[in-house]
Amino acid sequence: MRVFPASIPLDGRTVIVSGAGFMAEAKARLFVGSPARLKWFTGTDTDPVASDIAQHAEVIRREPTRRDFRGANLVFIAGGRDHVIARQAREARAKGALVNIVDSPKGSDFQTPALVDRDAMVISIASGGAAPVLSVDIRSQIERLVPPRVGILADLARELRDTVKSVLDKFDDRRAFWERALRGKARDLALSGDKAGARREMLRELNADGPAPSGIVHLVGAGPGDPDLLTIKAARLLREADVIVHDRLVGDGVLDLARRDALRIDVGKTKGHHPVPQDAIADILIREARKGQRVVRLKGGDPFIFGRGGEELEAVRAAGIEAAVTPGISAALACAASSGIPLTHRDHAQSVTFASGVVKKEGPDVNYQALATPNATAVFYMGVGAAPEIQSKLLSAGRAGATPIAIIENGSSDNERTLTGILGDLAGLVDRAGVKGPAIIIVGETASLAAAQPVEAVENFA
């Protein structure tokens, strides 16, 4: 560790910024809304100061003198002639201030880290001035992961800390309380903006004056497999989950985002092999939630697109368990985008329909007449094994045998491949290319736009 990113309380502190221009403005803006007294010496610069800073700072249109540094704690010097910078730094240090000279790590007492500011919760990323651009990039990634209202939780923790100590004498008991309070229902209320409700829930938990907290089931879309395509909310729920019930198609890269101590239950299915029946999956979700656990049902793609999420949602709610749905990027959208296939196009397709290649036994079949409509795109899930039937039924419904098709196998993964051909050769293409799945099949004129070399097609179709 080359630098130590210490936290400096700002209550009652004085911060001075010296200089004009965007660098000085950036330093001054760091302290807008903080409890520190902010004084900005802009020299003789006459450009207007941004209103959010002007309302919070003393803007002084001259250079600071030795007396101005009296009582200052942090001083930022942003630009100017070398001898002026050196004089200001010397005078500020003589008054006991720590000095930061912008773009001069060696001449500074400290460097300004990249900050993720959530009010009471502040995260700093420091490179010791070596790579500020890299620090900013990392900050952007963290910004996406940290909920905007997490500072409410930190505020409540500070406000209630003495109360918790007075009720719970033992350190281990206090730690257990904070783990429940900051990861349970109070957290959900705070992140929704309900600070009063979060406070009541924390006090209820502290006094245990009500029923034990019930669990919750989150149906979460894991996307097509690439962890980078997981939504921010889905990643957060994974980190918070006590129990994760996942499908076979959920990759290790996604599961690696979960807590190490979370219970993981694999309920994956393959064609003709369902080791955990659908009813049993619902029973697992209900059983774990009744223990007060935060359960994430992690499903490939989107839970409500051929993921049987609707059935699981009904079962969980019928059992009196709270349930919520977090959508994911569906395989159709991800695979099409990865292959450069627009599912709609003003010249080629005015509509798109998602269909399943496998339907419920003795249930209604897919409306192939509607799927055969010209100038439309049809996307089939679970269609590899049903390729001969899909081909035959679409042709019988009037779809031209020369209609372009694309098969995207293992979409968004390292071994993704895209095959193109024509509808009249769909079954033959699947057989010759040895397509095993998971894969989606796209039928329609837009499939010809795929970024792939077509596999040799056979045109002697019926």
Residues serving a catalytic function are 247, 269
Rounded Cα–Cα distance for residues 31 and 38 (Å): 7
- Longest CA–CA span in the chain (Å) reads 94
Rounded Cα–Cα distance for residues 231 and 247 (Å): 17
Rounded Cα–Cα distance for residues 438 and 408 (Å): 9
> Which residues are CB-neighbours of 42 under 8 A, at least 6 positions away?
19, 20, 24, 49, 59, 60, 61
Which of the 8 DSSP states describes residue 361? Answer: T
Per the DSSP assignment, residues forming a β-bridge with 218 are 296, 324
Q: Return the axis-axis angle of helices 309-318 and 278-289, rounded to nearest 10°.
A: 40
Residue 217 in 3-state DSSP?
Answer: strand
What are the CA-CA distances from residue 238 to residues 63, 197, 252, 258, 409 (Å)?
52, 24, 13, 5, 26
Closest to 340 (Cα-Cα) out of 450, 414, 448, 418? 450
Q: How many CA atoms lie within 13 A of 108 on its CB side?
A: 19
User: Within its chain, how far is the Cα of 52 from the centroid?
Assistant: 30
| CB atoms closer than 10 angstroms to residue 417 | 15
What are the CA-CA distances from residue 406 to residues 58, 431, 459 (Å)?
64, 14, 16
Vertex 164 angle, CA 217 and 193, to 5°: 45
Cis peptide before 227, with omega less than 30 degrees from 0? no
Burial 31-41 (b: 16+ CB within 10 A, else e): beebebbbbbb
Vertex 290 angle, CA 288 and 292, to 5°: 85
Token readout for 353 is 């329909």
